[in-house]
Amino acid sequence: MGLDQHRRNTMSKAVSRGQALQVSARVATQVNWDELDGGCLQDRVISLTPEEFGVRFTAFLKNGANLIIGSPMIIPIDRTKPFNPAEFIGEGWSFWRGSAGGNGLEGELEQDKRSLALTQIDTSKILLEAHLKPKETYTTGEERLRRLIAADRIRLDLGVFHAFWNNKTFIPVGFQEKTNNQTTYVFFDGQMLRSPDGGRCTLYLCLDDAGEWIWRVYWLGSYRLVRDPSAVLAS
């Protein structure tokens, strides 16, 4: 058997239980835990979902336990558990149906189906766009939505928002940067929400003054400034 063939056969073997236990034992006993920060470990590793921890550690082992420098930050989107407005926000919240001028209870769900089809996203591909015209300082949320649709942008949906909320270490650096020395509020316009009183709303994500990530609902009739961009992908 040639060396190349031997390597291919070796690489194709399934990992045995004994090998898996060896790796687990070496992590437990040979990592220099005294050099690690407990708070950082809690926030950036222990708090990861089981799915995300598995994705990251598998990639680390595939790379021979070497650091993966300069690789894309890929966040998985769990589409088996659709975003539930009533569960996440509160009783009476739902997705908006039909046109903006309707009651939100009838017709098709207003959402970007291209975003809903995504099962993972390379966070480096996310764009933050305000779509203001020259000399404009704001638009309404409704006008922003019309311009995003006209530009054929893929408007990231609330499933993507929820993935970031559950895996905050994946939130792009651009979401954290200030705009004109003011907090940046990143909107997810891929799905429209209906409030219990019939308001037409969407969600945004931002880093507060204490350095904590927070979310809020926002009425689409309200103003959107340059510091209120929408998270999108190029079509």
Q: Are residues 131 and 156 in the same domain?
A: yes
Rounded CA-CA distance 186/178 in Å is 11
Question: Does residue 204 contact residue 228 with C-beta atoms inside 8 Å?
Answer: yes
Q: Are residues 105 and 168 in the same domain?
A: yes
Question: Does residue 45 contact residue 27 with C-beta atoms inside 8 Å?
Answer: no
User: What mean pLDDT comes out for the span 74-95?
Assistant: 94
Q: Are residues 67 and 83 in the same domain?
A: no
Which has the higher per-residue pLDDT, 205 or 181?
A: 205
Give the global pTM: 0.72
Q: Are residues 96 and 138 in the same domain?
A: yes
Residue given tokens 């409704």 in the structure block: 142
Q: What is the percentage of the chain residues whose pLDDT exceeds 70? A: 88
Provide the residue range defining the domain that includes 26: 3-71
Residue (of 212, 201, 203, 197) closest to 230 by Cα position: 203
Asked whether residue 98 carries a pLDDT value surpassing 80, the answer given is yes
Domain count, the chain: 2
How many CA atoms within 13 Å lie on the side-chain side of 57? Answer: 14
* pLDDT tens-digit map of 61-78: 766 675 544 556 888 999
Rounded CA-CA distance 105/80 in Å is 24
Q: Are residues 142 and 195 in the same domain?
A: yes
Q: Are residues 84 and 34 in the same domain?
A: no
- Of 64-73, 99-108, 180-189, 198-207, where does mean pLDDT reach its minimum? 64-73
What type of residue sits at position 14?
Answer: A
Asked whether residue 110 carries a pLDDT value surpassing 60, the answer given is yes
Residue given tokens 């429209």 in the structure block: 192
Question: Does residue 36 contact residue 161 with C-beta atoms inside 8 Å?
Answer: no
Rounded CA-CA distance 35/182 in Å is 36
Q: Are residues 204 and 136 in the same domain?
A: yes
Which of 53, 71, 89 delimits the end of a domain? Answer: 71
Question: Does residue 105 contact residue 98 with C-beta atoms inside 8 Å?
Answer: yes
Q: Are residues 145 and 105 in the same domain?
A: yes
Which of 48, 71, 94 delimits the end of a domain? Answer: 71
Rounded CA-CA distance 181/204 in Å is 18
Please give the C-alpha separations between residue 62 and each of 27, 55, 57, 58, 167, in angstroms, as whole numbers. 16, 11, 9, 6, 22
The reported pLDDT for the residue numbered 205 is 97
The reported pLDDT for the residue numbered 6 is 37
Q: Are residues 65 and 137 in the same domain?
A: no
Q: Are residues 113 and 210 in the same domain?
A: yes
* pLDDT tens-digit map of 148-184: 999 999 999 999 999 999 988 889 989 998 888 899 9
Q: Are residues 102 and 63 in the same domain?
A: no
52 token code pair: 């995300």
Which of 47, 71, 95 delimits the end of a domain? Answer: 71
Q: Are residues 17 and 38 in the same domain?
A: yes
Asked whether residue 2 carries a pLDDT value surpassing 70, the answer given is no
Q: What is the percentage of the chain residues whose pLDDT exceeds 90? A: 59
